[in-house]
Structure 1
């Protein structure tokens, strides 16, 4: 009889992180919530990259199960939900900042967005603190 292994049994911190938010769409959902202030399904669906409805629904479920986001009834529209980053999700602020800085150094695209980078470079600690507090950087 074989013992089943937990998804996180390797003990590797990088593998754990990638299991939680390591795919393109999960991290972009987190970005849209942390950086753009997206709180509703519609706002997340309208993001820059054009996520499909089935992928968005799946990622929100996964992120909720992992404790990265919470889901609650929208007080303004009882048929809808609002999503928010948990403390665990907001703790990804330095990860998003590092990814943005790395991309700023290495992205060859002429149309690369630099506004977020400018804010980080002007006040990195402030940008991280605002993201952790649930405020836009």
Structure 2
């Protein structure tokens, strides 16, 4: 068992092992893959709420990865999984206050991309 001051951050449903005490490295341990941030982008800015909404994103996340990332984001307390239909069971994913705290970072990434990266799409 790790001591309380170990590089582990407790979250609502799970703990994350961190590689470093650096806050940027710790954030990357949580958000360091492209799908996680794109799901949060859709949830926070594009009103993505359902599995189908996230599947319809232009980046076309594979459904197995989408399921995994949604489960991770719910487990970390960034999204809340709320039932909206009983039969068949269907859920929507609502950003929590913790998830909404990502808005400034995503806005900064958008501004950087607009200023420094061209918008050309690979064929």
TM-score range, shorter chain: 0.7 to 0.9
Shift of residue 9, structure 1, vs aligned partner: 6.3
Aligned to 2:44: 34
Tell me the distance in 2 between the aligned counterparts of 1:3 and 1:39: 37
Contact 2:77 2:96 in 1 (8 A): yes
**What is the TM-score with the length of structure 2 in the denominator?**
0.80
Tell me the distance in 2 between the aligned counterparts of 1:9 and 1:104: 31
Shift of residue 108, structure 1, vs aligned partner: 1.8
Please state whether the residue corresponding to 1:11 is helix, strand or coil.
Answer: coil
Which of the two has greater strand per residue?
2
Higher relative contact order (CA 8 A, sep 6+): 1
Q: Does 1:25 align with 2:44?
A: no
**What is the TM-score with the length of structure 1 in the denominator?**
0.72
Q: Does 1:85 align with 2:95?
A: yes
Tell me the distance in 1 between the aligned counterparts of 2:19 and 2:73: 19
How do residues 1-137 of structure 1 correspond to structure 2 at under 5 angstroms?
A: 6=8, 7-8=17-18, 10-74=20-84, 77-78=85-86, 79-110=89-120
Question: Alpha carbon RMSD of aligned pairs, Å?
Answer: 1.9
Count of matched residue positions in the alignment of Structure 1 and Structure 2: 108
Contact 2:49 2:94 in 1 (8 A): yes
Shift of residue 10, structure 1, vs aligned partner: 2.6
Please state whether the residue corresponding to 1:95 is helix, strand or coil.
Answer: helix
Query: Unmatched 5+ residue regions in structure 1?
Result: 112-137
